[in-house]
Structure 1
């Protein structure tokens, strides 16, 4: 099988620019119609163009390559069908695929099908094997391309010393409640007290009333956020950028599995004294502790389905993670993948993230269908990478902005439990939206 042409060079080629600034030059260069920027553990990846595109809906998995397009009905596991199509169609060795799962991908999982649900229409997953993959970290740049000439184009872009002007942000009002969020929270609390479910995450949208420059907004926002993962993408009909507070799932090439539930929230970034007081309240509030504990318990139960017996464990229970404008209770749940299970099985076990759906999941998904404003799409789905040797990394799509068909919007939610108060849950959505809303840049195109 053919390999990518590869070159590498040191960070001195980037001049005085930050790694973020360097990768943004590639995103702005307009080299490719489709691209993904994905930040993980200090490494920035730029994946541009598509050698292979694999999409999946409720009935078919579709593959587009240089040889043409095919559509095949899938049966059994939807995620396994997605993975198998990638492995069968990737034309290059040592590939990494980049893409997303919509929140509604959950409807394809038999254990989570909601009562009376009709088949979900439209695309639910999209992955590409890129023409060009550029990895940038403190050690240097690795550029891998199907066409060796693209490596030189990448180098020229990264070495260009010109800097774009500092963008100007535009304000958006995040405090209006046009979707009746408080009323929906109150209804969920009633249903929880009737025993229909224990927890549900309800969300609300905020429209952006101008054309959004996703790349400039991402760059500004990333300077002020400290996410677990971050991403910027333009794939198919979607544009999105975000500062993911938590990891849905990682599986490394040796089968080590990890998920990171964050649940329980207070504001952050309002001065040292206010932040310390908010942390004290967060760590002692029975509602927040309960919300976090049921999420961790669910994560353990989910990983036990696919991990070797006795390997699932919780680390750093109820630690504090500071994520932009908020701070969360956080825990790590890990295990070793069972011999008969795959990374896609592990993803199905935890998807959608319990911290973006609820407990129990099936009942909470039914409540989301009834009580959330609109279909979620990318919101609370996953942006993910999957490699030829079975490593998978999936970031929860939160603290993000979304664009499709000329419309742009923000979205945020809160975990509703029996002691939830509608005004406080609305305020929590405002706190989360403040990780993104101050950095919106109007498109000049």
Structure 2
């Protein structure tokens, strides 16, 4: 594998050193995550390698409305020189992390340790790729011998590690508290509809938060393993602050953007119904979703906006056929969208251009975000924001962090939202929020 720039550098000029080796008897991802040091990282996505990260060789943080550019520039500096030897492409250095939903983000309460943007280069990572499982050690400001020695020590620790036990069951919920009452919800949705009918908005996504007290501390490796069984085609993630005192995790069906070379993949995911108790009822619900005017309108707003947001960067944009995406508890309307870039663009430029999509924000974006700020009685934090990874070439993969929660000790806060358009019904939208809590709630109660 070629180095980032050149291995013919004086030791004091080399900032990043990376070494990898294939493991003959690797632990499964749950065991690897249980063995990992804080801050722990997990990224598992459809058609991608699964990565478990341990510790931090380097951390990039930024705040404010300039945070996308600040992260990109800091990463460019980190990756500018390096001595990298990786046995497979997916084991090369990547930064994992994400962003807060709002530019003005308050990292307090459950979001302590989660700034406006934060990305980690894991000190040690396991990459579960098609050509085997690779152990990688990254060092910044460390000499080659120290990194190679750390790789051998990590190999002794991980290779042949056995799974100590099957995943534990859910911790159980002793108490739950809604941040939004049903009466306040009706008032908020009605006020949003009034703004839409007055022409101030076309759509806005309103969310709720559910605070839970657990019977015992949650085991995130166990929760994520169960989510993998139930939602194998979703983007599963774990991001921890430096001290590992909390964990933001989820299993989201919504891709924000993936970039490899000049090929970009994204899509619209909006419009929701439940699952049926029988195959016949399931298909009936799917057909009703396909023809429901409210859901189709909401979906088309999202698809049109994503195409418009990509247009300044693209030589061409192609839209696939709209279909129904079936998950364990819900069904969504989904339209795949691909583009070819007119020039090389860093994936973070595309992330900034697309966030927030109307599927989690609204239209027009500025007025929708102001409405969300005025209406929601809690801090969204990183909920519904971009989470993912990128590399030295500007390639990367990001998802929208829905179907998610932030856990700390014996407490977890869950988030869910719905799109409000002119013909929304407050009670039906309330029921949809409760349905969207289920993926995480089922793993806790």
When the two structures are superposed, what TM-score results if normalisation uses the length of structure 1? Answer: 0.83
Matched, 1:264 2:271: yes
Q: Structure 2: which 5+ residue stretches go unaligned?
A: 1-13, 85-91, 106-112, 139-146
Matches within 5 A, 1:8-407: 8-9=22-23, 13-14=25-26, 22-29=28-35, 31-40=36-45, 41-58=47-64, 77-90=66-79, 92=82, 93=84, 94-105=92-103, 123-146=115-138, 147-148=147-148, 149-150=150-151, 152-154=153-155, 156-157=157-158, 159-169=160-170, 170-171=172-173, 178=181, 180-210=184-214, 211-236=217-242, 238-252=246-260, 254-268=261-275, 270-308=277-315, 311-316=316-321, 318-339=322-343, 341-403=345-407, 407=411
State the shift of 1:286 in Å: 0.3
C-alpha distance in 2, partners of 1:272/1:329?
A: 18
Contact 2:23-2:159 at 8 Å conserved across structures: no
State the shift of 1:37 in Å: 0.5
State the shift of 1:397 in Å: 0.3
Note the alpha carbon deviations across 1:149-175, whole angstroms, 9 max, x for none. Answer: 345535643523343244232247889
Q: Structure 1: which 5+ residue stretches go unaligned?
A: 15-20, 60-76, 109-120
C-alpha distance in 2, partners of 1:122/1:233?
A: 9
Note the alpha carbon deviations across 1:64-110, whole angstroms, 9 max, x for none. Answer: xxxxxxxxxxxxx53122111012135744421111111014x59xx
Find the residue that maps to 1:264 and give its secondary structure.
Answer: strand
Relative distance call for 1:401 and 1:122 in structure 2 (3 A) is closer
C-alpha distance in 1, partners of 2:59/2:327?
A: 33
C-alpha distance in 1, partners of 2:153/2:327?
A: 37
Note the alpha carbon deviations across 1:230-267, whole angstroms, 9 max, x for none. Answer: 11221236411110111111111x12122222000011
Alignment size in residue pairs: 398
When the two structures are superposed, what TM-score results if normalisation uses the length of structure 2? Answer: 0.83
C-alpha distance in 2, partners of 1:172/1:187?
A: 34
C-alpha distance in 2, partners of 1:307/1:22?
A: 40
C-alpha distance in 1, partners of 2:68/2:389?
A: 13
Q: 1:413 aligns with which of 397, 412, 417?
A: 417
Note the alpha carbon deviations across 1:305-358, whole angstroms, 9 max, x for none. Answer: 2222xx012113x21112331110011222122327433322211012321101
Structural RMSD (CA): 2.6
C-alpha distance in 1, partners of 2:392/2:311?
A: 25
Find the residue that maps to 2:208 and give its secondary structure.
Answer: strand
Note the alpha carbon deviations across 1:207-240, whole angstroms, 9 max, x for none. Answer: 1112433222222222111343111221236411
